Amino acid sequence: MIPFALDLKTIKAVIFDLDNTLVTSNINFSQIRQQLSCPQDIDLLSHIEALNANEKAHANNIIFAHELSDAESSFPMTGCHELLMYLQANEIKTAIITRNCLAATHKKLSHNQISVERVITRECFPPKPNPSSLESLAKDWGLMSDEILYVGDYFYDLQAAYNAKMPSCLVHHGEELAFSHAASLALNELSDLLFQFQSLKKN
């Protein structure tokens, strides 16, 4: 997977993942998988989708409880508020696309005092790496795919951006990740992305 080229000078919108991108997350997915008897090689949301109605309701309740608890203990990632303030001050559109549920997402945003123009959760569109949520935003905004940057911390985020023909930014928090090469840009923290945007003003 070769990432699409990124030219920050042409970016008119930035879409963010939520967990461990804008805010912290400590959800124990191993524990959830164990509770739901989900194999390690199967996507968790895909596993739940394949369950019968009663099992699906029970599984969603378990995940919902984990997500709400996680929201209450979360805090902003380094550079989160500063980057969002910069983007909004420079009239660059912002959105969040997350695999989290709507209630937990809004709780997490309220808890961390985060505001963006659009929020898309797993109830709205098929979850990442399906690109339909990204493509819908591009259509609503009237923007070309290369005018939108998707920022995330996981391979699903890079895949979603690639599938939507958008450039991507991986925030890896100093970790050596095997999929870093699949990002148009790989940085330690959101503050580094802010620095990249600010540097454009000086050139």
**pLDDT, position 95:** 98
Per-residue pLDDT tens over the stretch 152-185: 999 999 999 999 999 999 999 999 899 999 999 9
Q: What is the pLDDT of residue 70?
A: 79
Residue 141: per-residue pLDDT = 98
Tokens at residue 141, please? Answer: 């905004």
What pLDDT, on a 0 to 100 scale, did the predictor assign at position 53?
81
Burial of 103 (0-12, 13-18, 19+ CB in 10 A): middle
Sheet of 185-187, strands arranged across: 118-120, 93-97, 13-16, 148-152, 168-171, 185-187
The model's pTM is 0.85
- The structural domains of the chain, ordered by start, are 8-24+75-202 (3.40.50.1000), 29-73 (1.10.260)
Spell out, as residue ranges, where the chain has pLDDT lower than 70: 29, 202-203
DSSP 118-184: EEE-TTTSPPTT--HHHHHHHHHHT--GGGEEEEESSHHHHHHHHHTT--EEEE-TT---TTGGGSS
pLDDT of residue 202: 67
The secondary structure element, H or E, covering residue 186 is: strand 185-187
Q: Which residue has the tokens 């928090």?
A: 173
Question: What is the token pair recorded at 113?
Answer: 């005092």
Per-residue pLDDT at 36 = 77
pLDDT of residue 203: 60
Rounded CA gap, 173 and 37, in Å? Answer: 30
Question: What was the pLDDT predicted at 112?
Answer: 95
pLDDT at res. 65: 79
